[in-house]
Amino acid sequence: MDKDKKTIDEEINKFHLPRWNEIPEIDLYIDQVVSLLENYLTNYIKSDNEKENKVITKTMINNYVKHGVVNAPINKKYNKEHIAYLFVIFILKQIYSIDEISKLITLAIKTSPIDQAYNRFCSELEKAIKMTFTGESYINNDKLSKEQYLLRNVVQSFANKLYVQKTYLKIE
């Protein structure tokens, strides 16, 4: 059991989402996008398809484009904005419906430029995961805006689910 806890702790300490400036500057083809997302997310999100055991597929991305959750690629290439959207979608779809995610993204980019909204999402998610796994609670003396409070609760819901899956249900 201690070895399992140690492995989980190491995995959680490594959790990092690329910030806006870490997302490739060059546009990527869909296979490259899938690979990038998988490199960051495979250990933290669960597959929708138990048989295939893939957490991210080209079909999923194409469906998000088809349903208007993500803008269509330009000349079959995905830019930073597309990739940021996809990181958020693949994480939040573990908890929320695609319609709910779309509304949350719309709210976030109404209140901040996309790069700031995305970086805030990454930072808050990392903090929520680390604090959930260590048993700490958020300490913040600043008064949060309605949007900041909402974001904190959104990422906390993912952190809580991840904690239960990794520590009690032993879902890999």
The pLDDT tens digits for 102-134 are 999 999 999 899 999 999 999 999 999 999 998
Count of domains forming the chain: 1
What value does the mean pLDDT take over residues 70-94?
97
Whether this prediction's pTM lies above 0.85 is answered by: yes
Determine, yes or no, domain membership for 17: yes
Domain that holds residue 12: 2-167
The number of beta carbons lying within 10 Å of the beta carbon of residue 57 is 16
Burial (CB count within 10 angstroms: exposed 0-12, middle 13-18, buried 19+), residue 15: middle
91-110 pLDDT, tens digit each = 999 999 999 999 999 999 99
Instruction: Name the strand (E) or helix (H) holding 101.
Output: helix 98-111
Per-residue burial over 99-132, b if 16 or more Cβ lie within 10 Å, else e, is: eebbebbeebbebeeebebbbbbbebbbbbbeeb
What value does the mean pLDDT take over residues 30-41?
96
Average pLDDT, the chain: 89
Determine, yes or no, domain membership for 172: no
